[in-house]
A and B are shown apart, each in its own frame.
Chain A
Amino acid sequence: MSAASHGASCGVVLGIVLVIFLQQIAYLDLSDLVPAIENLVIGAVVGGVLGALIGWALGRSYLARHATGETTAAK
């Protein structure tokens, strides 16, 4: 599993959970099924895309920070 896909999986869960959480703090109304499902799907997609981007960026940062150590070990 790459960093981007792991970030995407975390982002999907975060997006769905945040939509339900926003309803619990009275920002959203999830009383009816169809708009509620639409909100959950939108949250999952947005969360997945953002999570993938964040994971990809964190992966790049992690590799950049640890590339020096690998080079030293290879010498």
Chain B
Amino acid sequence: MRSRPPRAKHLRLPAAVLAFAVVVLLLNVPAPARAAPALQAITSQPNDSSSPFNVTWNGVDVSTAATSSSALAIDLSQSANLNYNWFTGSSAKLSVTDARLEMFYFGFAVSTRDQLVSGAIASARGNIPLSWTPLSIGFVLEGVYRLTATFLDNGTTLWSENFYVRGTAPLGFVALLPIVLLIIVVYELYGLVRSGRYAMLGRKSGGPPPSQPSAGTPPADATAPPETPAENNPPPSGGDS
């Protein structure tokens, strides 16, 4: 007797490989300045030219990266040198005891870096250098993130500014989270492609209840309905009368 395996069996591996290849190709699309413009309004205060405060990231004023589309392109394995500067331009003096840098993801600070100034003295101008190496984050995350640079005086915020960076994973390789997401995407695409088999289970529900597969897993071969039962189990001879 000739038994033909289900057609989906032939398509299983090529479909999974094709889905994986499509997503990997998507990864290689150049990503400069393509963040959604609808989200660009998520910035805090505008850079006031009269503000005595100023922050630079590797010599670049962070106010130039106030939107996600103008985010600073950085390598998350490289250290960033920030300079927190203030200059009142008058006899007024400011006391800054803390320069803080925070990185946000889903509204939560995933990384915070503080540069404390011990024995701070009020002055009309000053500079606090801060070095930040987000290497541990770079192994897990990449993409566009909002950072906040803050001047504090004994816990009181004097001034803060939001800016955006577009981080790439170390060594130009994808980070851990995108890899996990890709695996989930391929698995769910595979489950979606095979979801047609569940139609047979729904049709058989009039009889005894079949063993229901779990919701998150694609149906295994054991739960699949029998393929071409006429070929596998021919009726007994003489039954065609």
Contacts and interface: CB of A to CB of B under 8 A. Distances in A.
Judge: A and B partners, yes or no: yes
Given A6-B195, A24-B141, A62-B196, A1 B213 contact: yes
Interface string A19-44: 01101111111111111100000000
Contact of B228 (A23, A26, A69): A69
Contact of A59 (B164, B199, B233): B199
B10 interface: no
Contacts of B181: 17, 20-21, 24
A35 B184 CA distance: 23
B195 A14 contact: no
Nearest to A15: B188
Which one of A6, A27, A55, A70 has the greatest number of beta carbons of chain B within 10 Å? A6
Contact of B35 (A17, A27, A32): A27
Contacts of A32: 42, 104, 106-107, 146
Which one of B29, B216, B230 has the greatest number of beta carbons of chain A within 10 Å? B230
Contacts of B189: 10, 14
A31 B42 CA distance: 9
B3 to A, nearest CB: 12
Contacts of B104: 31-32
Interface size class of B (residues with CB under 8 A): 35 or more
Contacts of B146: 29, 31-32
B145 interface: yes
A33 B192 contact: no
Which one of B7, B27, B31, B181 has the greatest number of beta carbons of chain A within 10 Å? B181
Interface in B126-149: 141-146
A27 to B, nearest CB: 6
Contact of A51 (B35, B182, B192, B203): B192
B150 interface: no
Interface of B: 7, 26-27, 29, 31, 34-36, 39, 42, 68, 71, 104-108, 141-146, 164, 166, 175, 177-178, 181-182, 184-185, 188-189, 191-193, 195-203, 212-213, 215-216, 225, 227-231, 233, 235, 240
